[in-house]
Amino acid sequence: MVNLSLARFPRCLLQWNPWPSRLHGAEMSPAPLQPRWWQRLRDFFAHRPSAEREVDLPRDFLELLERLRILSVRATGAGLRQGCRLGAYRGGQLEFLDYRAYVHGDDLRYLDWNLFARMGKAYIKEFAREEAGAIHLLLDATPSMAVGKPSKWTFARRLAALFAHVGWTAQDSVRVQVFHAHGLPPASFPPKGSPGNTTQLLDWLRRQTLPALLVPPAQVQAPSPLGEGIRQFLATRPRRGRVFLLSDFWEDEQALTASFHRLTAAGFDLSAIHILAAEEIAPPAGGDWRLLADEEPGDLELTLAPAVSARYTAELEAHRATVESLLRRRGGSYLFAPSDISIERVLIQALRRRQWLG
């Protein structure tokens, strides 16, 4: 019996294997190739107009995004410029916040004399300075993100551009950082705060490519790409704010636990978008397949019998549930997003339902 485990093959790529090979000593007969008309039909549905390979976002869509805001982003009061979010400092600043009872020593300039005349009680008006929030977008650029049509990597970059444009419209400070596997240095788009930077960001995202396949020797224990990416991010001493992780999260529970804990312990609000390709969510049933671990040594050949497909689906659902549970335990939020869904029509609605955008 084939033991299909996501823990053993955390970053797998399904490839069609039409040649006969051996599995546990038994000859596997070559499966028939799909006809060309079926491949064309499959590619037609995979390349929807709203999920193009290109990173660019349509101009009218960008104008629509300018009506939205990223919710639950706190102003840190750490010296960021003026923005649209109420800061932590109180006093005679810009935006009225609330009333509180007068205590000896309060500045009488902020006493509400109208309330005092009507109620005979003294109340002080409190104000808060409007500041910019800090938003950080961490993108997974490991080789497994190349899977899919459009690829998970294309989807993640378009999603990063979406969040950045919305954040800049609200005068938030937005930073984008790309992390790789096996100790490769990250790439970073520095914090900026104007919607005019969207064009520069799109140009920068187009230049970000996935590195060549680097599989370490079996005896070498490679660090967690997500954990290493977060370590590199925190080493830059970023301002506390909201972090969006855009990844396929093909890592074991221990690595994910350590990564999420490291971010929340540093005072960041955490949100994650779990991106998977259609062939990862529902591999075609039947036929002979080779599962290649594209970031670690070894592969696996098997016939996708119904029992194997059911086992894969069950383990995938369990892994997704684990990622979501680990996030929620640390006060984070989670969203699952197939890489071939429409960002313009479907994903925006999902983000608003979950109150990520408003």
Segment-wise mean pLDDT, segments of 10 residues, the chain, 358 residues: 40 39 36 40 38 71 85 57 47 62 82 87 74 88 91 95 91 91 84 80 91 57 85 92 95 95 95 94 76 65 79 92 96 94 86 84
Closest by Cα among 205, 204, 257, 201 to 226 = 257
pLDDT at 222: 67
Closest by Cα among 163, 176, 88 to 132 = 88
CA distance 339 to 52: 10
3-state secondary structure the chain: CCCCCCCCCCCEEEEECCCCCEECCEECCCCCCCCHHHHHHHHHHHCCHHHCCCCCCCHHHHHHHCCCCECCCCCCCCCCCEEEEEEEEEECCCEEEEEEECCCCCCHHHECHHHHHHHCCCEEEEEEEEECCEEEEEEECCHHHHCECCEHHHHHHHHHHHHHHHHHHCCCEEEEEEECCCCCCCEEEEEECCHHHHHHHHHHHHHCCCCCCCCCCCCCCCCCHHHHHHHHHHHCCCCCCEEEEEECCCCCHHHHHHHHHHHHHCCCEEEEEEEECHHHHCCCCCCEEEEEECCCCCEEEEECCHHHHHHHHHHHHHHHHHHHHHHHHCCCEEEEEECCCCHHHHHHHHHHHCCCEC
pLDDT at 213: 57
Query: CB neighbours (10 Å) of residue 302?
Result: 18
Q: Can you say whether residue 120 is alpha, beta or left, with left for phi > 0 and alpha for psi between -120 and 50 degrees?
A: left
3.40.50.620, 1.10.1040.10, 3.30.830.10, 3.40.50.410: CATH of 12-75+132-353: 3.40.50.410
Q: Kindly report, residue by residue over 227-284, the tens digit of the pLDDT.
A: 999 999 999 989 899 999 999 999 999 999 999 999 999 999 999 999 999 989 988 7
Closest by Cα among 165, 206, 184, 178 to 52 = 206
pLDDT at 182: 73
CA distance 205 to 153: 10
Amino acid, res. 56: D
Q: Domain coordinates of the chain in residue numbers?
A: 12-75+132-353, 82-131
**Contact between 207 and 55 (Cβ < 8 Å):** no
Closest by Cα among 272, 247, 256 to 335 = 272
Angle at 147 between CA 230 and CA 270, to 5 degrees: 30
pLDDT at 197: 87
Q: Kindly report, residue by residue over 7-36, the tens digit of the pLDDT.
A: 434 444 444 333 333 333 333 333 443 444
**Contact between 205 and 199 (Cβ < 8 Å):** no
**Contact between 132 and 70 (Cβ < 8 Å):** no
pLDDT at 283: 80
pLDDT at 217: 52
pTM of the model as a whole? 0.73
pLDDT at 32: 40
pLDDT at 74: 63
pLDDT at 130: 61
